[in-house]
Structure 1
């Protein structure tokens, strides 16, 4: 195929050359081909054609001067997280981003758009992509706006979300493998003699919360143990009666999804005269520094936040410098955990 001089290749050119539909090309280049059941042979043919035609996404074509210098990467947070301290949950993410950006000689630009009525920082304002000044961006935050993510993907703007989010047509993300880690926590608790469990979760059910619950329920199922009805509640809605009922039902191990829920639970346990872990083992399914809730060390799942930040930068720079490359676009990094402090054998 010969291209008109001075015109860059388009996805339509790749589709015609490879003998496939343009939607197939889009799915392959966006990393969602497996979701569409596109064969490995077709994916290989599309990627080979894209390289041969020197295809560059429209978003990358808009900033050719950036590529001749150090890449300028944007960092957008869906909720305010700056300034941050070493004890803040987002600190290790940001340290990982900065460390890897420096290693790859990239510059960082922080985007802090105004919040909407629901408190979420939106990317688009009056239909304009606020991240367009950067060659590509890293997005993070608990309350990601899915409409913004879908629109960025549809416009082929290069970005990587830090966290697990499944969005229509697929997006690039680096998250933690909470499902596997939670399952292993349950495995170990069962090995310690626990047979009756309770589960306390957040009302906001995004993929990370769902992954934790599914890891918990699946592990109990493997042992043939009863899977308790989960309780999803905001901290202000958690009552001492819930704790009384869990203990009365025979629960000896309780898994909690958030530090805010743990604070309320720990206060209620103290009022009830329950000694942890003698009377009840508690594991929190997120990082919690010593002294965050009381002075003790809590058994907890540990999120690889620093490595997630670094891996996200590596993935984004790869997407920018080699758009048609065979990148692993959806990454879940292994999590660790420790049951020291608030979990004991029966």
Structure 2
């Protein structure tokens, strides 16, 4: 059987050796080259034509973000960033995702558990990368409906809640989806697959860039219009009801579908609190099936459900499963989802 090819780019030999050992435990993959800087990496890419590249977020001789921006237009491929969990490392990783990186793996802290977790995460994301949609950016550009130049009309929402689930490619998709949202929108709860330390910075970046208020969710926050609540990494986000009012609920119960936060946990909480019929739920790009069953349960309880279409997904996994089991009422390009939310939310 033909093996999938990967190259490792990291200035530390010890880190390259560790990543190589991890990858070579999977018989479907082979490491065809290692590079200590972007210039060596460029030559390797031309010579070896790898399927995937792992890239350290801190690169010598050339900024990693600059390298991605120069590389990907000429050699489109999934790039998995190897990130530290420091504030600086997290910030660079989020910039890399904006620049077109496929996904990221956080470096282990050194404990046996963290080593195993990082290895499994990398192997999982290598296999996810085989489903990478190379044309999603072009499809996204084509799907944008020409605007007349006038501002979006303010919407009088009748729905009380918007629920969103996303994974691989979701950081960029969420920004694009929410760029036209404003203070008239009902509370928006988001379960994006992300580790600890990343979500607070991600929420802060979105808050600085968007018209709508974005926060990392805390426990028992009253839900307010015009605010997006991002599930904190390594915690589940749910909605709960007290005396008729809606609040966040943050828990650290077992992972669901291998994830914490889990999209299914968020979606099911709206059903359990009898607010599905006054909600809109959206499932975005991502690998696997998290959120599909929850979305179907929402739909069966009166929720209006939307799914991102294949052409604009980085990975058409979660929306695909949801669509195939009949959970998606409207499947749309990413650029049209916000307008659809306005349309159906006011009815």
Q: Same fold (TM over 0.5)?
A: no
- Structure-2-length-normalised TM-score: 0.35
User: Per residue, is there more strand in 1 or in 2?
Assistant: 2
- The structure number with the bigger radius of gyration is 1
- Structure-1-length-normalised TM-score: 0.35
